[in-house]
Amino acid sequence: MAKNITPREQDYSQWYVDVVREAKLADYSPVKGCMVIRPNGYAIWEKMQQALDKMFKEAGHVNAYFPLFIPQSFLEKEAQHVEGFALECALVTHSGLERVEGESRLRPTGKLDEPLVIRPTSETIIWAMYKNWIQSYRDLPLLINQWANVVRWEMRTRLFLRTAEFLWQEGHTAHATADEAEAEARRMLEVYRTFAEEYMAMPVIAGLKSEGQKFPGAVDTYCIEAMMQDKKALQAGTSHYLGQNFAKAFDVTFQNERNELEYVYATSWGVSTRLVGALVMTHGDDDGIIVPPRLAAWPVYAVPIYKNSEQKAAVMGVLEPLLADLKNRGIGYRLDDRDQMTPGFKFAECELMGHPLRLEVGPKDVAKGQVVLVMRHNREKRSVSLAQAVQEIPKVLDAVQSELFQRANTLLTKHTAPVETYDELRRAMEEDSGFALCHWAGNREDEERVQEETKATLRVIPLDGQREMGKCILTGKPSSQRVVFAKAY
Amino acid sequence: MAKNITPREQDYSQWYVDVVREAKLADYSPVKGCMVIRPNGYAIWEKMQQALDKMFKEAGHVNAYFPLFIPQSFLEKEAQHVEGFALECALVTHSGLERVEGESRLRPTGKLDEPLVIRPTSETIIWAMYKNWIQSYRDLPLLINQWANVVRWEMRTRLFLRTAEFLWQEGHTAHATADEAEAEARRMLEVYRTFAEEYMAMPVIAGLKSEGQKFPGAVDTYCIEAMMQDKKALQAGTSHYLGQNFAKAFDVTFQNERNELEYVYATSWGVSTRLVGALVMTHGDDDGIIVPPRLAAWPVYAVPIYKNSEQKAAVMGVLEPLLADLKNRGIGYRLDDRDQMTPGFKFAECELMGHPLRLEVGPKDVAKGQVVLVMRHNREKRSVSLAQAVQEIPKVLDAVQSELFQRANTLLTKHTAPVETYDELRRAMEEDSGFALCHWAGNREDEERVQEETKATLRVIPLDGQREMGKCILTGKPSSQRVVFAKAY
């Protein structure tokens, strides 16, 4: 157990704060609600970006960039949308500061005719542009993604999970038919599921949001929900089928193949730096974070062990060619050859920072023609002959990736259970027992009542849930599928 | 000459607007001063980012992310800094919108205690954080870069070149000694020079800014200046040695090796999406833009030529394996196999979008066992045997890259000339004759006078300028080196 990190058992919430600080992933900023993403945290986000960007492009999307500022009147054009974001909007009202004689502070000047909203999401500004770009079915589909910062004023903040400003990607696509747009929303949900499971090693439940939880302005919101180690749910990505709502709000029509004018169909989808927090909470332990190999900037952390320069030369003579071989195979590594630090210090730091595989070489290893591999997630130590190391290391990394997923999946499976009555749900939530699979046929108000009384929200209506007849736990109305209720971040 | 594009000879400024619009690089947004970077323009920026990011990392820098919002009081801590940016600051004053009965528009609510400035640059927020991160010489150097959007309220805007919001990178480094920080500022200047010349194929003059032109808060500002085709100068990148100015403003000290407390030394350096405009204006012609191969998303644009499906099959049978070979060699291509467009249409589009090399294959080429390569920048057509194509194409791309640089360099050299008197400078500027190399020993007011009377500004004091004794063209005072005066973007 690392010093300065509260054990998870004792206080999971404090553990998260400690581990984010100690691993130097992020820091609070002097502006309330905003965070600074430090290099260690940003490196994880960069790897996530690379993997996602590649997947988006392979699915035919291109990147673009739309303005940070949205005229207030644009936000107001889609009724549900503005209701959803009105109370979280940072507003720009002036364009400068001026010195006024006799005052020590500068004074705002250049009052704008209309306040500008810092984008909380970009549907409105993007659809205002799409109006100019789309005339005919030949201009469709339009498959655009943007990497950007957004601002949603939040008072109860938590590094990565909930901050006033965060980084994200937002895809905004335009289609000629409802079916095509629906298919796109589901396709991107699958991209997110694949990314979460295959890169983050984080199992998720994919499905639909309820009426009460969907995106303001969406017809349907799809999402992936993950379970953190404290058994709370975390929404890890959303994909919205927007129907013609934004096309109507911004009057975006196209000439279809039958020469008729029709409103365009839309989707939008996004994941954010929140995923860095999800990764920490899915895999981290009392010694620090654990980064899955496929998202590690340096999957291999090499520590040479020596007591004098002669030993160092011998050890480096073995280590350096091996690292060169790894590099040739595209395996990232970091060599920690700082003389002033002891190996023990380096091991602890390596565990804190979550490099998935430590590679140790000491004089005894040189003598035996071997290297030592230490897996971060289970502390397993393994000696491998030097000759085989370069073949062995990628296999071990693959095994680590898959074991991390299995471990998280075991947690999810173990703590996801059917709940048959409302009382049972209440008890389950009091005991923090995880995801409750309930029959449900309530409306938005019913959802609110459940949240008030149990702190659980309807997280997701699973897409691959089995059809099963039953009765709603709250209303007793007939239901044909179970949904997931859970406490959530 | 492409339709809808004004020839450069006729109106260079209009040509730029036309070519940016027609090649779909960017668009004006409904918010005054802001632009939308369209996918074609963003693709160029992405390639620039990749190349620069790699160079920064190879030089030991890591990426991080700091908040968009800067408290007004922070900006005010460095006197010159706030003077420089005060009139361009977008100010956030409220955190939400609320509905008020009887009013149709929502009303700002949640007035902030202190206005927040949207970052025009991040020195102040970053140094507020560095105060917590730096204690000892062991924490130095700190070499951090950020990719971000910034806002500088501008009224006279021009797509890419001058917009209220733009994208950029800003490096912010902290050092234990003045020498080390100075060396860092120069090292990053060299990175920019290398990037401009080797990737953008854009020759630059590297040097120092004068007192009148340096960054608000800097001790020294280094810059690279390029010449556009209308012979105006464009500042393409800056690197600042900030001395201890920001460390003092934010009280950032460290314990040096002699156990004394000392203020930290700083640099900052940045390039922006302005470089996309620079690229367009350096290489573009009356038919569209020209992207240098090293920054082209698709250096090769493949156009199969056929009249029926039989011909198409034959042509694709030759083209597809060749493209697969190119892909294996890491050469990006786009295959334009749209049946509904004629080859002529595709050629024009390919020229407009500036793909540096067009690869044509028609039935006759198949019969002859050849492919046709057409270079965008000089329209040169060349038949290459199919067997040799995969070896030949990378060579041609290298040649294109180098010819683009040579062509731009010829322009720069031809239009950079010594000017011996103030009258001569005035005439040179009236005639738009390019860069004037003048002896100079004036002060800030003298610079302002020159600008007022000739429209020229002191662009750069070249670093590799020869030492040469002479007299200041304006003041007659002795001078030991020539500087560059020019009209500028």
CA A67, CA B32: separation in Å to the nearest integer? 10
Interface test with B, best of A68, A83, A345 (most B CBs within 10 A): A68
Lookup result for tokens 């095994």:
A399
Sign (positive/negative) of CA torsion A61, A63, A68, A73? negative
Quick one: tokens of B42?
């963003």
Q: Round to whole Å and give the CA distance between A481 and A483.
A: 7
Task: Provide the pLDDT for residue A32.
Answer: 86
Q: What is the pLDDT of residue A465?
A: 81
Q: Considering only CB atoms, which chain B residues are within 8 Å of A47?
A: none
The C-alpha R_g of chain A, in whole angstroms, comes to 26
Find out whether B425 and B483 touch, Cβ atoms under 8 Å: no
Q: Give every CB contact of residue B6 below 8 A, 6+ residues apart in sequence.
A: B14, B15, B18
- In this prediction, residue A79 carries a pLDDT of 87
Contact A225, A205 (CB under 8 A): yes
User: Closest partner residue to B94 among A91, A109, A164, by Cβ?
Assistant: A91
pLDDT digits (tens, 9 = 90+) for A300-334: 999 999 999 999 999 999 999 999 999 999 999 99
Interchain pair A167, B65: CB under 8 A: yes
C-alpha–C-alpha distance, residues A488 and A459, integer Å: 8
Which amino acid is present at B396? V
Contact B68 A115 (CB under 8 A): no
Mutate one of B47, B57, B61, B97 to test the A interface: name it (highest A CB count within 10 A).
B97
Give the burial class of B195: count Cβ atoms within 10 A of its Cβ; 0-12 exposed, 13-18 middle, 19 or more buried: buried
> Could B167 and A110 be called an inter-chain contact, meaning their C-beta atoms sit closer than 8 Å?
no
Contact: A69, B42; criterion CB under 8 Å? no
Cβ contacts below 8 Å, chain A against chain B, sum to 196
| Closest CA–CA distance from residue A273 to any residue of chain B (Å) | 11
- Rounded CA-CA distance B397/B155 in Å is 40
Residue of A35, A95, A114, A172 to mutate when probing chain B, most B C-beta within 10 A: A95
All structural domains of chain A, each given as residue ranges with its CATH number in brackets, are 12-283 (3.30.930.10), 300-396 (3.40.50.800), 416-486 (3.30.110.30)
Nearest CA in chain A to B142: A39
Instruction: Find the CB nearest B91 among A63, A65, A93.
Output: A93
**Cα A98 to Cα B120, B155, B156, B428, distances in angstroms:** 16, 17, 20, 38
CB contact under 8 A, A97 and B90: no
DSSP, res B270: E
Q: Which residues contact B476 (CB under 8 A, 6 or more apart)?
A: none
Q: How far is CA A82 from the centre of its chain?
A: 25
Q: Which of B64, B91, B148 is nearest residue A39 as measured by Cβ atoms?
A: B64
Verify whether the Cβ–Cβ distance A108 to B99 is below 8 Å: no
* Contact flag B65-A128 (C-beta cutoff 8 Å): no
Residues of B in contact with A66 (CB under 8 A): 29, 36
Over residues A2-14, the mean pLDDT reads 93
Residue B430, token pair as written in the block? 């009236």
Contacts of B130 in chain A (CB under 8 A): none
Kindly determine whether residue B67 and residue A96, on different chains, have CB atoms separated by under 8 Å.
Answer: no
- A3 — pLDDT class (breaks 50, 70, 90): confident
- Chain B residues inside the 8 Å CB shell of A43: 62-63
pLDDT tens digits, residue range B184-218? Answer: 999 999 999 999 999 999 999 999 999 889 999 99
Contact yes or no for B128 and A30 at CB 8 A: yes
Sole residue written with tokens 């059809």: A467
Mean pLDDT of chain A: 96
Cβ distance of A43 and B66 shorter than 8 Å: no
- Within 8 A of A61 by CB-CB distance, chain B residues are none
Mutation for testing the A interface, residue in B27, B31, B147 having most A CBs under 10 Å: B31
Residue B17: exposure state from Cβ atoms within 10 A (0-12, 13-18, ≥19) = middle
Question: Is the Cβ pair A68, B106 closer than 8 Å?
Answer: no
Of B30, B39, B129, the CB nearest to A144: B39
How far apart are the CA of B97 and the nearest CA of chain A, in angstroms?
Answer: 5
Task: Determine the residue type at A470.
Answer: G
pLDDT surpasses 70 at A90 = yes
pLDDT value for A466:
83
Q: Could you tell me which residues are beta bridge partners of residue A224?
A: A206, A237
Q: In the predicted model, is pLDDT for residue B338 greater than 80?
A: yes
**How large is the angle between the packed helices A274-283 and A39-58, nearest 10 degrees?**
110
At A156, the pLDDT band (50, 70, 90 cuts) reads confident
For the stretch A165-217, pLDDT in tens is 999 999 999 999 999 999 999 999 999 999 999 999 999 999 999 988 999 99
CB atoms within 10 A of CB B116: 26
- Residues of chain A with Cβ-Cβ distance to B152 below 8 Å are none
> Where does the pLDDT of residue B165 fall: very low under 50, low under 70, confident under 90, or very high at 90 and above?
very high
* d(C-alpha A19, C-alpha A289), whole Å: 7
- pTM comes to 0.96
Please give the Cα distance from A204 to A280 (Å, whole number).
15
Report, as an integer, the average pLDDT of B440-453.
Answer: 96
Q: What is the dihedral of CA A139, A141, A142, A144, to 10 degrees?
A: -160
- Joined tokens for residue A337: 């050859």
The C-alpha of B272 sits at a distance from chain A's nearest C-alpha, in angstroms, of 14
Residue that the structure tokens 């739309």 belong to: A66
Q: Which residue has the tokens 């949904």?
A: A483
pLDDT by residue (tens digit) across B249-273? 999 999 999 999 999 999 999 999 9
Residue B210, phi-psi category: left (phi > 0), alpha (psi -120 to 50), beta (remainder): beta
